[in-house]
Amino acid sequence: MSDEKSQRPVGASSQCPHSDLHFTLNNSGFGDTNLHYLEITARCKICGADIVWRGVSMGMGPDRPGISPDGKELRLPFLAEGEELTGRPIGFSIRRA
Ligand SMILES: [Zn+2]
């Protein structure tokens, strides 16, 4: 027997447990590089709240994850196993104070 209330994440709204999230995954690549990004967004299917990612700097680049300015899109750069980065991937990052 499980107690669903104990599984609510810290900081979640008391109105909605956000227990049914819809994740959207998008694979994108730009220009003449083999670098791709996995773009992840999520929304609560119950209350419609967008998920805002935490702990990642704003931006995108080949060396580290980044998030969109509104914090709703997480971008993870990746290559296939064994591949070397080719071309000139675009990228920028903004460090929050
Ligand atoms: Zn919700």
Number of domains comprising the chain: 1
* Inside any domain, residue 31: yes
Does residue 55 lie within any of the structural domains? yes
Residue 23 corresponds to which amino acid?
F
Rounded CA gap, 78 and 6, in Å?
Answer: 35
CA of 1 to the centre of ligand 1 (A): 23
Partners of 70 in the beta sheet? none
Domain containing 50: what range? 21-81
CA of residue 15 to ligand 1 center, whole Å: 8
* 9 Cα to the center of ligand 1, angstroms: 11
Residue 1 has pLDDT above 50, yes or no: no
For the sheet containing 74-78, what is the strand order? 21-29, 36-44, 74-78, 66-67, 58-60, 92-94
46 part of a folded domain: yes
Residue 63, in any domain of the structure: yes
Beta bridge partners of 24: 41
Question: At 15, is the pLDDT very low, low, confident or very high (cuts 50, 70, 90)?
Answer: confident
Mean pLDDT value of segment 7-18: 65
pTM of the prediction? 0.74
Q: What is the reported pLDDT for 76?
A: 96
Ligand 1 center to residue 42 CA distance, Å?
11
* 88 contacts: CB under 8 Å, gap ≥ 6: 31, 32, 33
Average pLDDT, the chain: 84
Q: Is residue 7 part of a domain?
A: no
| Residue pLDDT, tens place only, 21-65 | 999 999 998 778 899 999 999 999 999 999 999 999 998 888 899
